[in-house]
Structure 1
């Protein structure tokens, strides 16, 4: 078998590349095509644990779900997790290899490209189709040399490219024409068409612009995707743009938006629940009065701990607990709740130790070997089923761990629950995802009769909505031809 490969590149970050790849994977999967997602290089702090014991970008795990597959490290062979403004942890085939600044990584790209092409070859041999997501924009001139994420990859494997642009940002025609103008002749030739994303309004008013675009570039517009309001889909990396307005909210939750916040998809169930008002509190913003504070995961725990102190969260948390509020720490946030966080090897920054918040009798030491696990178990609260994954370098020790917050498969204890029942810590990402766990945690926080919410079901329905949009709004005959797939009678 030799897979047909189609790559989706965007004029900008957040143009809709991840979304379109997810949509195309589900659309093909529905038709019985054995399809796999692929992103050569991703930069994201939202990640997932794979069935082969590695780590990939969260978006590729969602795309795998759309394709009916468990997540695998070949779907995202190179993952960059920023830990400073100029540096990142480099993860290859699911495992960290080094921390590098931008210049060091630029020189490392030749090695990274070998990993990319090795994964590509394995997927091409196993699947009928591979849908590839680019990164950022192919027109970033300063990043063209040794590119492995966009046209450098497309040229290496000789695949066609779809170019997607977000009309909701404005300037969509300039984005598309300008991007084409900055490509080389061979790169322009492999662009098989345009997709315009997030359109709202009367499509008839847009048609003259589409006609001009096709005449100006000689490239077809394969369709205009509508703005899908209320879409439930996990974000690749960026924090949610808008806070959802909820008139019936009865529980308020505050989450500090740490500079290196990771896996903020942990809070998707809270964002979607109509009775929960979730505040992501940024720098310079005062923490609101709330029922529950959650300290999220962090790629730089000690640095983000310092940020919390600078932003006044220590006194805010003390006041919150004094008046009976509940507190949860997840992964890095759990580590912050202890007495100290030690990083003797400089895993996340300069070697040293930082004093924690001191709410739990434990200490954490960061180790080079990252712990990556997919887990299931039961919460101590209500004996509710919980499932998710662990991604952390820290190993915690102390008396607080004698009272775990959950018991995982094989009787493995996780986290801690304080003796007064106010503070819960866990290494588990996906804490709120299962309906029974969400209900138990909301009841603990003060919402005992919360409406049920099935986040996995909502996510699955969101993926189906995307595939429906492909069928309704894109030229599926042209898509199948770009993939060299038989044009079937089911294609409109």
Structure 2
């Protein structure tokens, strides 16, 4: 029988991307490398041992994984699998996250303190990592946060523990747009143990906007200190790919455009499904996170939420509940998706206290939801308006109606009452037929397109950029 060391020698070394900070650009770089290598005919897979995000995706098997790794799998032209993200943390309270292990909620681990989880999760990470190494020619690994967070090292299952497990070739990325990039790189390297430092093959400057000549001899200085070269200076790259766990804030109502208000409450989830609205020139999608007059807007969307009860409490506390009810009286379209559906209803019952307890909803549609222990997760393909559309469900709640409401999109997953439309199906705007229907209701241009094709083109452009400025 081969020893573990011999087995590792027979496998191609994974490439691992670590960051000096959160939002250094790790996810985008992994995505770029996956598409670059896939376009070269290499069988490649992404891997992130543990992700923290309320942006999740559903696999063909109905299992839950991080949206970023799902996109990276598409970039790699591989079938998305929970092996690529065996542990997903979904924040649902200030100090609590639901733990998804191999695509399924694990309530036992969710209740454990952070530092008490490694013994249970590490074996799942090891299994997934080595399965991918067996099944693919090349694995591209993404770290989380920074490996220099020494207070978290004892419980690490995502950064240097993974690098050491597979003896990866590690590249350390710094966001030069933030400033202090060389200090970040030097300081992060210095915080690593000697055996970890040996794995670092190169430093990467990311999000560079200026004249490269302004860098002077800083890269030589850094290499003198560490013995590690700076292998790439990647430009600040504007793209239309989903963000891992954030959303663009700051847009304001604009005259001459279709203005859509997106209620941005705490624990809002899967906001990337609104990217088809976000990147249209004639549409202005405005995240609303404080009370204001909503009646100027052409439509209103309440998105999904990891904790519908807590999101509803936020609306009540800020006064946005009254503003939404006032908007409903204008007769303009209101769309509630998943958690938004629950919030727009009459009541949210939470007998198991999974979220935030029983709540009175906004009462704009005659629906009652009970938050249940079992979670509904599935991909959906159906015919609507004589066209084929795709989406997915991901929710704990079971909803019923006590009135003769019309169904919306599909029976028992969506309902309509007057100008209020609700559905449990995520991803609808990514379908051309739904986007055009929505615009038809609010007086906008019916210029939608199939978002999956658009993303595929964006991935190729990203790979081209990396081929020009990267090190592979």
| Both proteins in one fold, TM over 0.5 | yes
**CA 183–148 in structure 1, closer or farther in 2 if over 3 Å, else same:** same
RMSD: 2.0
Deviations 1:441-488 (A, max 9, x none): 1111222x3333443233222211221122101222xxxxxxxxxxxx
Deviations 1:324-370 (A, max 9, x none): 22100000001111111111112224xx3111111111111111111
Could you tell me how far apart the structure 1 residues matched to 2:350 and 2:404 are? 20
Match of 1:428 among 425, 436, 461: 425
Would the aligned equivalents of 1:199 and 1:224 in 2 still touch at CA under 8 Å?
Answer: yes
Could you tell me how far apart the structure 2 residues matched to 1:218 and 1:202 are? 25
Q: Which residue of 2 aligns with 1:468?
A: 464
Would the aligned equivalents of 1:377 and 1:385 in 2 still touch at CA under 8 Å?
Answer: yes
Q: TM-score, with normalisation over the residues of structure 2?
A: 0.93
Q: Does 1:362 align with 2:370?
A: no
Deviations 1:189-208 (A, max 9, x none): 11110111111121122242
**CA 307–246 in structure 1, closer or farther in 2 if over 3 Å, else same:** closer
Q: Which residue of 1 aligns with 2:244?
A: 236
Could you tell me how far apart the structure 2 residues matched to 1:174 and 1:286 are? 45
Q: Which residue of 1 aligns with 2:106?
A: 97
Q: Which residue of 2 aligns with 1:486?
A: none
Could you tell me how far apart the structure 1 residues matched to 2:207 and 2:176 are? 6
Q: Which residue of 1 aligns with 2:5?
A: none
SS at match of 2:462: helix
Deviation at 1:100, TM superposition (A): 6.0
Would the aligned equivalents of 1:3 and 1:129 in 2 still touch at CA under 8 Å?
Answer: yes
Deviation at 1:384, TM superposition (A): 4.9
Would the aligned equivalents of 1:400 and 1:416 in 2 still touch at CA under 8 Å?
Answer: no
Would the aligned equivalents of 1:146 and 1:152 in 2 still touch at CA under 8 Å?
Answer: no
Between 450-459 and 65-74, the greater mean CA deviation after superposition: 450-459
Could you tell me how far apart the structure 2 residues matched to 1:461 and 1:185 are? 42
SS at match of 1:144: helix
Q: Does 1:414 align with 2:390?
A: no
SS at match of 2:14: strand
Q: Does 1:54 align with 2:63?
A: yes
SS at match of 2:155: coil
Would the aligned equivalents of 2:250 and 2:286 in 1 still touch at CA under 8 Å?
Answer: no
After superposition, where does 1:361-380 map in structure 2 within 5 Å?
361-379=366-384
Match of 1:392 among 395, 420, 427: 395
Deviations 1:206-254 (A, max 9, x none): 242222222222111111111113x1111110122554x8978521111
Between 331-340 and 204-213, the greater mean CA deviation after superposition: 204-213
Could you tell me how far apart the structure 1 residues matched to 2:292 and 2:366 are? 29
SS at match of 2:458: helix
Q: Which residue of 2 aligns with 1:223?
A: 232
Could you tell me how far apart the structure 2 residues matched to 1:365 and 1:343 are? 6
Deviations 1:384-412 (A, max 9, x none): 543111100011111458521113xxxx5
Q: Which residue of 2 aligns with 1:281?
A: 288
SS at match of 1:204: helix
Deviation at 1:266, TM superposition (A): 1.6
Q: Which residue of 1 aligns with 2:115?
A: 106
Q: Which residue of 2 aligns with 1:37?
A: 46
Could you tell me how far apart the structure 1 residues matched to 2:275 and 2:379 are? 19
Could you tell me how far apart the structure 2 residues matched to 1:436 and 1:468 are? 31
Q: Which residue of 1 aligns with 2:7?
A: none
Could you tell me how far apart the structure 2 residues matched to 1:363 and 1:102 are? 28
Could you tell me how far apart the structure 1 residues matched to 2:120 and 2:27 are? 25
Gaps of 5+ in 2: 1-9
SS at match of 1:19: helix
**CA 284–173 in structure 1, closer or farther in 2 if over 3 Å, else same:** farther
Deviation at 1:383, TM superposition (A): 4.8
Could you tell me how far apart the structure 2 residues matched to 1:475 and 1:282 are? 41
Q: Which residue of 1 aligns with 2:351?
A: 344
Could you tell me how far apart the structure 1 residues matched to 2:193 and 2:121 are? 23
SS at match of 1:4: coil
Match of 2:303 among 296, 305, 310: 296
Match of 1:136 among 145, 165, 174: 145
Q: TM-score, with normalisation over the residues of structure 1?
A: 0.90
Could you tell me how far apart the structure 2 residues matched to 1:323 and 1:374 are? 35
Would the aligned equivalents of 1:297 and 1:333 in 2 still touch at CA under 8 Å?
Answer: yes
Q: Which residue of 2 aligns with 1:488?
A: none
Could you tell me how far apart the structure 2 residues matched to 1:47 and 1:452 are? 24
Q: Does 1:150 align with 2:159?
A: yes
Match of 2:222 among 207, 213, 217: 213
Deviation at 1:274, TM superposition (A): 1.1
Could you tell me how far apart the structure 2 residues matched to 1:204 and 1:316 are? 52
